[in-house]
Amino acid sequence: MDQQPLVGVLAVQGDVREHLAALEASGARTCTVRRPAEVDAVDGLVLPGGESTTIDKLVRACGLQQPLRDRIAAGMPVYGSCAGMILLADRIADGRPDQQTLGGLDMTVRRNAFGRQVDSFEEDLHIRELGGEPVRAVFIRAPWVEEAGAAVQVLARVEHGPAAGRIVAARQGNLLVTSFHPEVTGDHRFHRLFVDIVRQNQRERS
């Protein structure tokens, strides 16, 4: 039987508690990550939603940027939701001049692509990799993927409305991203998928 993986949630800003609960319900041990030593201790990491420019500044202020980049480059599984998607993108279409990312995903992301807080919405998405029932996706000041490289597997696109066709969930190797917030709906299928990615990575490294 596989050892229960330890999955951290970056806890400098954002919806940390909800991700911890979803991960624990998906079979992982959890911890918060605020210090460089904690980056080295985890088998996988979640980058939660929040404000991407604020998280970027706090990551640098806490000395976390280079340790995170190193672990991502070494193949650590990471799941980013909303702001976390922005942090994992190699490029930002409308980032602030001083904004930096951790990178790893060959894609361009547009911040607040769907509009302001008042433009938040929900939509059912049909995601083949999760099977069965559609996923209720909650978009809150959400980004979308403007361009994705050949190595990026598109998992979901907006299905209706003026943004139909925009990429809102993707995977590249051990990196998984959604522009929406599955941690707030009670549907843990994305978190279970991520925990499976972490377990598979553990098996390959053992």
**How far is 110 from 148, CA to CA, in rounded Å?**
12
Residue 149, Cβ neighbours under 10 Å: how many?
12
Q: Is-catalytic flag, 24?
A: no
Give bridge partners of residue 44 from the DSSP assignment: 7
Q: Which of 18, 19, 123, 183 is catalytic?
A: 183
Q: Is-catalytic flag, 31?
A: no
| Fold annotation for 6-205 | Rossmann fold (3.40.50)
Q: Is-catalytic flag, 160?
A: no
pLDDT for 160-199, tens place per residue? Answer: 888 889 999 999 999 999 999 999 999 999 999 999 999 9
pLDDT tier at 1, thresholds 50, 70, 90: very low
Q: Which amino acid is at 20?
A: L
pLDDT for 92-113, tens place per residue? Answer: 998 778 889 999 999 999 987 7
**Are 71 and 105 a contacting pair, CB within 8 Å?**
no
**How far is 118 from 203, CA to CA, in rounded Å?**
44
**Are 22 and 56 a contacting pair, CB within 8 Å?**
no
> pTM of this prediction?
0.94
